[in-house]
Amino acid sequence: MQIPDALIERLRTAQSITVLTGAGVSAESGVPTFRDAQTGLWARYDPAELASPAAFRANPTLVWQWYAYRRALVAAAMPNPGHLALADLERRVADFTLITQNVDGLHHRAGSQNVVELHGNLFRYRCFDDNELVELTTAPPDEPPRCPQCGGLVRPDVVWFGEWLPSEAWRAAVASAERCELFLCIGTSGVVRPAADLPLIARSAGAYTVEINIAPGALDGRLDLHLYAPSGQLLPALMTAAFGAAA
Ligand code: BV8
């Protein structure tokens, strides 16, 4: 796997690094990507349709069970060497921000600290009516429970299509993209906005921008460097090339 010296040098010297990840970084943990998640009984549903307030209003049981299915997949998964390499990189850089579109929580489980969850988290819950956070010790698999405050239906604390991103998370993401010297964009198809705008915001602010993916996508040719290899293999190799054998 040929890694350009320019990237190795920037990894060694950058004081400020920002990373954006998508579903591809969790693929090698056995968590299907957003587009691939529709296997088996879910194959006949468009994920963007299920991940919407309209779908939950129309059929809360179906949407709740889809998220229970995804929680079970993630609970059975472990962070992979790609997640671990990013946690290691964070410990070596003064100003490091990890922005993720993933709702699987695997970056935290890998030891990453400064994680911005742009699209929420599968294992947190909110009331669909009063939007207050709801603590659930165990999430029932079949039916959405009721909010203890107002009796409204409980939903996963994720951002659905047509919903605004959490303003504080978006603000922190844009600020880190604008101030970083190096921006790594890993395992995302670069289709869903506004997340897909972040590498372009970083580039126009002067950062050196790098895509890591297994295949060209919507960002192809729009960043400074595009490396095509599985992130679970390329990221550990990058860390070894830049810092010697992983800590
Ligand atoms: C918003 C949480 C303002 C839930 C997610 C019309 C009407 C309304 C909105 C829009 C509209 N047109 C456009 C929009 C905006 C819309 C959007 O972008 N739509 C797209 C589909 C065109 N965005 C929104 O709605 C956002 N909100 O705009 O609010 C607003 C308000 C009102 C009205 C208008 C606008 C909210 C977007 C967030 C939605 N929630 N997730 C859940 O998870 O269930 S998005 C979800 O999909 C993920 O979080 C992620 O963001 C996205 C999936 O993308 P990826 O992560 O990149 O995954 P994907 O499967 O696509 O690709 C995997 C990649 O990995 C591939 O490139 C593959 O090659 C690579 N890969 C695979 N294996 C590996 C690998 N790479 C490396 N190594 C490997 N081993």
pLDDT digits (tens, 9 = 90+) for 16-26: 999 999 999 99
Whole-prediction pTM value?
Answer: 0.96
**Residue pLDDT, tens place only, 111-142:** 999 999 999 999 999 999 999 999 998 899 99
Residue 222 confidence (pLDDT) above 70:
yes
Return the DSSP state at 13. H
Distance 192 CA to ligand 1 centre (A): 3
Question: Has residue 247 got a pLDDT over 60?
Answer: no
pLDDT at 40: 60
pLDDT, average across residues 177-183: 98
pLDDT of residue 125: 98
The 3-class secondary structure across 162-221, one letter per residue, is: CCCCCHHHHHHHHHHHHHCCEEEEECCCCCCCCHHHHHHHHHHCCCEEEEEECCCCCCCC
Give the pLDDT mean for 95-122. 98
CA distance 210 to 190: 13
Whole-number pLDDT of residue 33: 87
Q: What distance separates the 2 farthest-apart alpha carbons in the chain?
A: 58
- Structural contact between residues 187 and 213, judged by C-beta atoms closer than 8 angstroms: yes
Tell me the catalytic residues.
119
Distance, CA 151 to ligand 1 centroid (Å)?
A: 30
Quick one: pLDDT at residue 48? 79
Nearest residue (CA) to ligand 1, atom 80: 230
Q: Which of 20, 50, 161 to mutate to test the pocket of ligand 1 (most atoms within 8 A of CB)?
A: 161
User: Does residue 10 contact residue 182 with C-beta atoms inside 8 Å?
Assistant: yes
- The sheet that has 95-100: what strands, in order across it? 115-117, 95-100, 16-21, 182-186, 208-213, 225-228
Measure 127 CA to ligand 1 centroid, in angstroms: 23
d(CA 179, CA 207): 8
Q: Is the pLDDT of residue 217 over 60?
A: yes
Q: Is the pLDDT of residue 41 over 60?
A: no
Whose Cα sits closest to atom 3 in ligand 1? 164
Cβ–ligand 1 distance for 245 under 6 Å, the answer no
